[in-house]
Amino acid sequence: MKVAVLGAATTQFGELWDISPRALVREAVSEALLASNLRITDIDALYVGNMLSGILGGQENLGAFFAEELGFAGPAFKIEGACASGGLAFYNGAVAVRSGMFERVLVVGVEKMTDHKPEDVALGLMGAGSDVERQAGITFPGLYAILARAHMEKYGTTEEELAAVAVKNHFHAVLNSKAHFNNLITIAKVLASPKIADPLKLLDCSPISDGAAAAVIVSEAVAQKGQTPVWLIGAGVASDSLGLAGRKEITSLSAAKRAAKLAYKAARVGPRDIEVAEVHDCFTIAELIALEDLGFYEPGKAGKALLREELTLGKAQHLVVNPSGGLKACGHPVGATGVKQVVEIVSQLRGTSGKRQVEKTRIGLTHNVGGSGAVAAVHIFQGKAGSGKGKG
Closest CA to 31 of 331, 337, 346, 363: 346
The helix, strand and coil proportions of the chain, stated in percent and rounded to the nearest 5, come to 45, 20, 40
| 162: region left, alpha or beta (phi > 0 left; psi from -120 to 50 alpha) | alpha
- Give the residue among 378, 294, 383 at the shortest CA–CA distance from 87: 378
Coil, helix or strand for 13? Answer: coil
Q: What is the dihedral of CA 339, 14, 164, 124, to 10 degrees?
A: -70
DSSP label of 10: E
Q: How many CA atoms lie within 13 A of 26 on its CB side?
A: 10
Residue 301, class by beta-carbon neighbours within 10 Å (0-12 exposed, 13-18 middle, 19+ buried)? middle
Q: How far apart are alpha carbons 386 and 230 in whole angstroms?
A: 11
User: Known catalytic residue: 205?
Assistant: no
Helix (H) or strand (E) holding 77: strand 76-79
Q: What is the DSSP letter of 327?
A: I
Q: Is position 282 annotated as part of the catalytic site? A: no
- Which residue out of 83, 205, 282, 330 is catalytically annotated? 83
Q: What angle do CA 64, 337, 6 make, to 5 degrees?
A: 75
Q: Rounded distance, CA 143 to CA 190, Å? A: 20
Please tell me the distance from the alpha carbon of residue 62 to that of residue 98, in angstroms, as a whole number: 24
Q: How far apart are CA 127 and CA 133, in angstroms?
A: 10
CB 392 within 8 A of CB 270: yes
Options 172, 180, 332, 367, the catalytic residue? 332
Alpha helices in the chain (DSSP H): 21-36, 53-57, 62-70, 85-98, 118-125, 131-136, 140-155, 159-173, 187-192, 220-223, 254-267, 284-293, 302-307, 334-350
Q: Which residues contact 326 (CB under 8 A, 6 or more apart)?
A: 169, 172, 173, 206, 278, 279, 281, 287
Phi/psi of residue 193, nearest 5 degrees: -75, 155
Which positions are annotated as active-site residues?
A: 83, 332
